[in-house]
């Protein structure tokens, strides 16, 4: 029983870290994989999601609905900045990086001016379950389950719907997709809105666990970027899942033994070694393996 409880505890730590990395990175990786654009305002979009959830919660909306509200609010905002600003930077990766950085400065400082240095926080919903001498937060268990449900949902969206088919066509060959009658501007706008909405959704999910402040987005930025770098952009979903699992495998023991900060340092070092070995990320390796298997099947 003792050993069983310890095993469950390790698994819980591992899954929590994995879910944190996955949720932090999901919105970023959707935009990168489909549009080849790094959205440096990602942390600020998560911050917006947390703010939307917090404000709605304190106006009486049950927390259950808050993340979904955040998804639509931030998604709409994402569509807006895609149409007005980001759409001028397709094909200019570094230009897009710099301009989204400018947007992030405006958003974080603007939030400080509008809402002040902090908002009252949301209490963590749910209690805890105990196994042996350990107890686990129900909320995090739900978040872990939700992160996996999100991945499944994304997989279904990209593989089972017309939007997904068209989005993948645009990603592979935009000119050909356009020639076949796909409105690529709409696809780009919806993809960016989806990525922004996912960032808002994650931000709202993390809202009860952190303090709500204008610069809170920064704490998600480093883990999210490392996850994306390790995952690569070849196969979005495989990359995100693979890299968050792998990095959680690095972060969990080191963070447990030496503290959260060194856990994050270990993430950076792991990322440096991994890109030296596989420059296009884990997803390129996974994709190659899938291709080879399909060929022989």
Q: Does 165 bind another protein (CB under 8 A)?
A: no
Nearer to another protein, 104 or 243 (CB): 104
CA distance 157 to 93: 26
Q: Are 237 and 35 in contact (CB under 8 A)?
A: no
The token duo for 259 is 């503290």
Residue count at the site for another protein (CB under 8 A)?
A: 47
The site string for another protein over 258-287 (x = CB under 8 A, - otherwise) reads ---x--xx--x--xxx-xxx-xx-------
Residue 183 tokens read as 């409105």
x/- mask, another protein, residues 108-147, rule CB under 8 A, reads xxx-xx----------------------------------
Residue 107: name the closest of 89, 126, 80 by CA.
80
Could you write out the DSSP letters of every residue in 107-164? HHHHHHHHH-S-BPPPPPPS-EEEETTEEEEHHHHHHHHHHHHHHHHHHHHHHHSHHH
Confirm or reject binding of residue 210 to another protein (CB under 8 A).
no
**∠21-47-66 over CA atoms, to 5°?**
90
- In the block, residue with structure tokens 């902090």: 118
**Interface with another protein in residues 26-45 (CB under 8 A):** 32, 36, 38, 40
- Binding of residue 95 to another protein (CB under 8 A): yes
Closer residue to another protein, CB minimum distance, 113 or 257: 113
Q: Nearer to another protein by C-beta: 3 or 114? A: 114
Contacts with another protein by CB under 8 A lie at 32, 36, 38, 40, 85, 88-89, 91-95, 97-99, 101-106, 108-110, 112-113, 215, 218, 221-222, 225-226, 228-229, 233, 261, 264-265, 268, 271-273, 275-277, 279-280
């Amino acid at each position: 029983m003792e050993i069983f409880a310890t095993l469950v505890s390790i698994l819980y730590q591992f899954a929590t870290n994995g879910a944190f990395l996955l949720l932090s990175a999901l919105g970023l990786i959707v935009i990168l994989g489909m549009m080849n654009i790094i959205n440096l305002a990602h942390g600020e979009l998560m911050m917006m999601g947390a703010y939307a959830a917090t404000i709605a919660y304190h106006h009486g909306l049950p927390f259950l609905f808050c993340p979904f509200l955040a998804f639509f609010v931030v998604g709409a905002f994402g569509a807006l900045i895609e149409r007005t600003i980001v759409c001028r930077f397709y094909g200019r990766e570094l230009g897009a990086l710099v301009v989204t950085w400018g947007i992030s400065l405006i958003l974080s400082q603007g939030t400080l001016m509008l809402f002040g240095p902090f908002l009252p926080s949301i209490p963590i919903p749910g209690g805890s379950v105990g196994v042996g001498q350990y107890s686990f937060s129900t909320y995090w268990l739900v978040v872990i389950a939700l992160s996996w449900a999100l991945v499944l949902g994304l997989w279904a969206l990209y593989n089972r719907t017309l939007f997904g088919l068209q989005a993948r066509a645009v990603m592979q060959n935009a000119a050909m997709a356009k020639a076949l009658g796909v409105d690529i501007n709409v696809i780009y706008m919806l993809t960016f809105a989806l990525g922004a909405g996912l960032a808002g959704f994650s931000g709202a999910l993390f809202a009860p666990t952190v303090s709500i402040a204008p610069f809170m987005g920064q704490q998600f930025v480093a883990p999210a970027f490392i996850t994306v770098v390790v995952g690569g952009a070849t196969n979005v979903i495989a990359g995100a899942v693979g890299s968050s699992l792998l990095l959680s495998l690095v972060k969990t023991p080191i963070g447990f033994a030496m503290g959260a900060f060194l856990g994050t340092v270990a993430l950076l070092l792991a990322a440096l070694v991994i890109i030296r070995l596989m420059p296009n990320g884990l997803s390129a390796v996974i994709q190659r393996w899938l291709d080879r298997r399909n060929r022989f099947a």
